[in-house]
Structure 1
Amino acid sequence: MTSTTPTPTAEENWLRLDRQICFSLHAASRAFNGVYRVILKDLGLTYPQYLVMLVLWEQDNLPVKKLGEHLRLDSGTLSPLLKRLEAAGLVRRERSARDERSVEVRLTEEGAALRERALQVPRRILAATGFEFDEIRELRERLDQLTGALDSAALEETPGCS
């Protein structure tokens, strides 16, 4: 019978920083943010603002709540982003005519036109990674799987959820 329990020495190595997937993801995220900062400067957007615009370029006129769901952001984080985008003339926020409690976000003409200039962003990011398109697609799919697994694990750990 083979033991699956690691030896104490191997187990201690689990706590090395360079063995932590969370740190690798964190470091990659910070590196991406640095590259995006440079590329998005030409568009006058921050990375979080770019994400908001991506969603709105796909589906304009969304309630703030739905936009937050797409981006995995709460309204407290999303509201300041939307205020800055509105001040820049890229989006407009309006109370819903159907539900006064809901605020809808829509692109302005300037915000919609910015999409054309943004088309170069993914190509520049791809070039910065040094990866081929298929490698990026596979990595994204694996990260999506990882996110799903972690979301499920978090739900299992939440009291009252099963």
Structure 2
Amino acid sequence: MAGDEVDVTVARGAGTLFADPLALEAQVCFALSAGARGMVALYRPLLEPLGITHPQYLVLLALWQDDAAGTTSTVGDLAGRLHLDAGTLSPLLKRLEALGYVRRSRSPDDGRQVRVTLTAEGRARRRDAERIPPSIVAATGLSLDELAEVHAAASKVVAAALRAGVY
């Protein structure tokens, strides 16, 4: 074989050998995509009482973490942590602000920066959200060890994407 060519005759996925490296079941992207959709679907009924979507929940998780640490984030900080661009994050923040969960304000030090903080209502929603992780564990039917393995593998994929400059 010349240079960059690789002889891929068998792809291995989930303990099974695939003769076709382009078999749908052999694709990591398919497993991650289908798994992500399934996981988000498990969250949906748990988030409905809060009136939020899964992406909005992720924003609140970051803000609850900030609040516990006594810090605040800018829109840019949050976008980086959530691996979103500011244009995707802004509508999420606007909706959370309309619900009364967050407040956006210009930084007094740099008017170009918009700080995002929780309101009292946003802080109170944390107590409601504390029931979500155990409900997700129960809904998946996976053990905590199995979920930790999934998390570790998915985190490696995120790290690889970061190294590749995707985010």
Number of positions where the alignment pairs a residue of Structure 1 with one of Structure 2: 151
Asked whether 1:133 is paired with 2:144, we answer: yes
Matching residue of 1:149: 160
Q: How does 1:74-113 map to 2 (within 5 A)?
A: 74-113=85-124
Matching residue of 2:33: 26
Matching residue of 2:3: none
Q: Deviations over 1:101-150 (max 9, x none)?
A: 10000000000000000000111111111111122112211211122123
2:66 corresponds to which of 46, 59, 66: 59
* Stretches (4+) displaced over 4 A: none
Contact 2:8 2:21 in 1 (8 A): no
TM-superposed deviation, 1:16: 1.2
Contact 2:18 2:26 in 1 (8 A): no
Structure having the larger proportion of residues in helix: 1
Question: Could you list the runs of 5+ residues in structure 2 that have no partner in the other structure?
Answer: 1-5, 11-16
Question: Could you list the runs of 5+ residues in structure 1 that have no partner in the other structure?
Answer: 158-162
SS in 2 for 1:100: coil
Could you tell me which amino acid in structure 1 is paired with residue 7 of structure 2? T
2:7 corresponds to which of 5, 8, 16: 5
Contact 2:64 2:123 in 1 (8 A): yes
TM-superposed deviation, 1:12: 6.3
Cα distance in 2 for residues equivalent to 1:62 and 1:84: 17
Alpha-carbon RMSD across the aligned residues, in angstroms, is 2.0
Cα distance in 2 for residues equivalent to 1:83 and 1:75: 12
Contact 2:101 2:119 in 1 (8 A): yes
Cα distance in 2 for residues equivalent to 1:91 and 1:47: 16
